[in-house]
Amino acid sequence: MAGVEFRLFGEISVASGDSVTALPAGRVGLVLAHLLLDPGKPLSTDHLIDDIWGETSPDGAEHKLRVTVSRLRSALEDAGVGGNLIATTPRGYLARVARSDIDALRFEDLVSVARRSSDDREVLGALEEALRLWTSDPLSSLSDTPTLDQARRALVETRGDALELWSGAAIRLGRYREVIAELETAVTHFPYREQLWGNLASALYHEDRQVAATRSLQQARCALADLGLDVGSRLMDIESKILAGTLEGKKRPAASGNIPASVDSFIGRTHEIHEIHDRFGTNRLITLAGPGGSGKTRLALEFARNGWTSGTAWFIDLASISEPGGVVDTLATTLGVDQHIAAGPMSGIVEQVGSARDLLIVDNCEHVIDAAAEVTRQLLAQCPDVRLLATSREPLRIQGEAVITVRSLPVPSEEIAESDAVDSVRLFLDRAEAACEGSRGEASLESVSRIVRMLDGIPLAIELAAVRTRTMTVEEIADRMDDVLSAVGAGPRTALPRHRTLRAAIEWSISLLTDDEREAFSRLAVIQSDFGFDAAVAVSGLGTDATQNAIDGLMEKSMMLRTSASGRRYRVLEPLRQYGSEMLAASGDTELVTQRRDAFYGSMMEEAGIGRRKEHREWLDLIRVERPNIVTVADSLLARDPEAGAAMIDFVAQYWVSLGWYPEGRRLVSAALDSGGITDGQRAALGAAGGHLALQQGDLDAASRRDRSKYGPGTSRDHEPDRIPVGGARGHGGSCKVVPAQPRDIRGLAGCYADDGQSRGGDDLGR
């Protein structure tokens, strides 16, 4: 199915377009996983029952399986991919899904492609695509069954094979540092794989780290002995050649020009390195654009060290210049050009570069963007073979430029908290160990995952936070992440001033904004998740055209990201958003802008409630996307204006029932009922909503209590409240409409909140 991907790595989910929907993790998820592991092949009812329920198979198991399949189809319908993907045949149930649309099976197929290839570059391409799919352990959100256990083990071993093939090909191509960074973690997951240990030792040796190579082989011996295994002949052969200094391999090109040597490990960015290499096949100018601290300079230097083999590489740092005229002077000084020649330094630069196929890295262009663009244009026009790699917080915008956006490192999902295979986690652990020896072994992966998520995967922020391990535990750092600007530490004294603290890096970016951009940036900080353009207009208060211009500028200067390729949705990285909140507080406008935000989302939910019957599918799609903002605003309104908050939560609960978000819906309803200051009518409506949410979770006792709780003070079953609110918040203060109350008991709740056919309470109920 075009544009649809089922994800079995981590939480079971389905992606369609720009939307990713988590699917139920109970028996519904188990049935789906079994069908997806063998798509197109019918699985019999007996097989599914035996595998999922096992020896404890209940009476009426076939009926329960039919109900489970019905709920699965409903979940797929709600996700927008269609319940007809699950077909019923005389031989059982099957999934009408191609292998290429299932991440775990595509992973296996890519590894198979690599196994069959004799071209190292083709091997690397297939395996790097495969390994990028491995975002978390497979099927980790699902309980154990014999089939799933076998599938998990097979996928893990396939990953081990992939790492062996990848590291072997990378060593043959001289990419030793990437191998070291990857395998230092991999051998902890696969201590029994001799080839991984051997490839790690080989890469260390070829990086002139013979002592480290020997030590890794000693670690291999210990690891294998702990498992009751002997060292094989291949590993012994590598060890003898390392000790004799005769291990062969492709020598890494010697550093050229003025590229500085690396002082620590380079983690991640393999895809970006390859993209730069490929883009230089068609473009002579590439700009690495991204927010401050995203690692643009480090990526450019790493490409020069390990990806550039055609000529001399030069690093031209514009960070310290303050005047546009300094661009030419800095370039001439770096290249050793005589600046006193009659024709001027630019002519000398052009003459020296000439027709050589050199790489010039022009770093930190953003504060002298016009001058940097002009010098780059002249070099492209007069030096036919030069390659230019610029770094900037915004593109140069000249003809022939290819822009590669340097994004944050990937972070673990909240559902799968512990994963040391994710690049952001690996970076933190590596830098923490460098700052405080032994901290890697003591670190809680769950806490590290919390840290890198709150830092949005920004490399500079992660490295600064890791420095804190000198004086704090990882858990203490994680507990302070609500204020990331204070929680992270200071960088090296030798770093640029704006890279010594996260705050300084952000302040440098803020200084490059226009007044409207600065105003929009601070006001949009009240929205804690991604948001649409209409929300931006409402919250910023700048008007449609000015808001669009401000967003365009913020995106170009890497202060805001676009999160949807098909629509106008945007996001501000968390550390930047927190700084924007400080700016807004300093302006004294926080309360006013928060009211604008709450009014916008409150009115949206009121409109959703009014359109619930006629446009239900469209509202479900929107609410899935806006869920974090809706919850934030519901909590905010409840704290400021309980009646307005309760009115919004009444509408929220209706949709949370349809979408199966029962625990969160119950929390919101409970918060509203416990808040005080709500009307008896609201208490009745919310009591009914809470009862139905509890009923859907099978919590009959809580459902009965919620049913009784709808009778507030002064009411009884003989005296229902006269009116029940059905409206959402409007304006700044919030208001709601009321309609005559309808007496309901716990048996009628499904009709009250699920008469749109979206309830998951039975086999195709309402369909």
CA distance 228 to 237: 20
Residue 523 predicted with pLDDT over 50: yes
Task: Give the pLDDT confidence of 325-336 residue by residue, as tens digits.
Answer: 889 988 988 888
pLDDT the model gives residue 27: 87
CA distance 255 to 276: 19
516: phi then psi, degrees, rounded to nearest 5 = -65, -40
For residue 393, count other CB atoms closer than 10 A to its CB.
22
For residue 745, what pLDDT band results from cuts at 50, 70 and 90?
Answer: very low
Chain centre to alpha carbon of residue 466: 20
Q: Which residue has the tokens 């990378």?
A: 170
CA distance 364 to 452: 25
- Return mean pLDDT, the chain: 82
Residue 736 predicted with pLDDT over 90: no
- Mean per-residue pLDDT, 696-719: 57
Residue 531 predicted with pLDDT over 50: yes
For residue 228, count other CB atoms closer than 10 A to its CB.
7
- Mean per-residue pLDDT, 93-121: 92
pLDDT the model gives residue 495: 55
CA distances from residue 415 to 140, 141, 303, 664 in whole angstroms, order as listed: 9, 8, 34, 15
Q: Which residue has the tokens 């020069």?
A: 304
Please work out, in degrees rounded to the nearest 5, the angle formed at the alpha carbon of residue 764 by the alpha carbons of 761 and 767.
115
Residue 707 predicted with pLDDT over 80: no
Q: Which of 221-230, 588-597, 652-661, 718-727 has the lowest mean pLDDT?
A: 718-727
221 within 8 A of 197, measured Cβ to Cβ: no
Task: Give the pLDDT confidence of 378-410 residue by residue, as tens digits.
Answer: 999 999 989 999 999 999 999 999 999 999 999
For residue 102, what pLDDT band results from cuts at 50, 70 and 90?
Answer: very high
Residue bearing the bigger pLDDT, 564 or 258: 258
pLDDT the model gives residue 734: 37
Residue 255 predicted with pLDDT over 50: no
Residue bearing the bigger pLDDT, 247 or 377: 377
Residue 754 predicted with pLDDT over 50: no
pLDDT above 70: percentage of residues in the chain: 85
How is residue 154 written in tokens? 């097979």
pLDDT the model gives residue 233: 87
Name, in order, each residue with C-beta under 8 angstroms of 159's C-beta and a sequence gap of 6 or more.
Answer: 107, 131, 134
pLDDT the model gives residue 752: 37
Q: Which of 249-258, 284-293, 611-620 has the lowest mean pLDDT?
A: 249-258
Name, in order, each residue with C-beta under 8 angstroms of 761's C-beta and a sequence gap of 6 or more.
Answer: 696, 750, 754
- Mean per-residue pLDDT, 349-371: 89
Q: DSSP for 437-501, please give it.
A: TTHHHH--HHHHHHHHHHTTT-HHHHHHHHHGGGTS-HHHHHHTGGGHHHHS----TTS-GGGSS
Angle between helices 459-467 and 502-510 (to 10 degrees): 150
- Mean per-residue pLDDT, 269-294: 91
- Write the DSSP symbol of residue 368: G
Residue bearing the bigger pLDDT, 54 or 541: 541
- Mean per-residue pLDDT, 114-138: 90
Name, in order, each residue with C-beta under 8 angstroms of 341's C-beta and a sequence gap of 6 or more.
Answer: 347, 348
- Mean per-residue pLDDT, 263-292: 90
Residue bearing the bigger pLDDT, 218 or 753: 218
765 within 8 A of 643, measured Cβ to Cβ: no
For residue 122, count other CB atoms closer than 10 A to its CB.
14
Residue 618's closest CA among 572, 645, 655, 643?
655
pLDDT the model gives residue 729: 34
For residue 52, what pLDDT band results from cuts at 50, 70 and 90?
Answer: confident
**How many Å from the N-terminal Cα to the C-terminal Cα in the chain?**
23
Please work out, in degrees rounded to the nearest 5, the angle formed at the alpha carbon of residue 19 by the alpha carbons of 545 and 483.
70
CA distance 169 to 176: 10
Residue 309 predicted with pLDDT over 80: no
Which helix or strand (DSSP H or E) is residue 611 part of? none
pLDDT the model gives residue 470: 82
Task: Give the pLDDT confidence of 182-223 residue by residue, as tens digits.
Answer: 898 899 999 999 999 999 999 988 877 888 888 899 999 999
- Mean per-residue pLDDT, 555-582: 86
Task: Give the pLDDT confidence of 616-658 residue by residue, as tens digits.
Answer: 778 888 888 899 999 999 999 999 899 999 999 988 888 888 8
For residue 342, what pLDDT band results from cuts at 50, 70 and 90?
Answer: low
pLDDT the model gives residue 500: 62
pLDDT the model gives residue 243: 81
How is residue 545 written in tokens? 């055209």
- Mean per-residue pLDDT, 739-744: 34
How would you classify the pairing of strands 19-22 and 569-571? unpaired
CA distance 766 to 73: 13
Residue 37 predicted with pLDDT over 90: yes
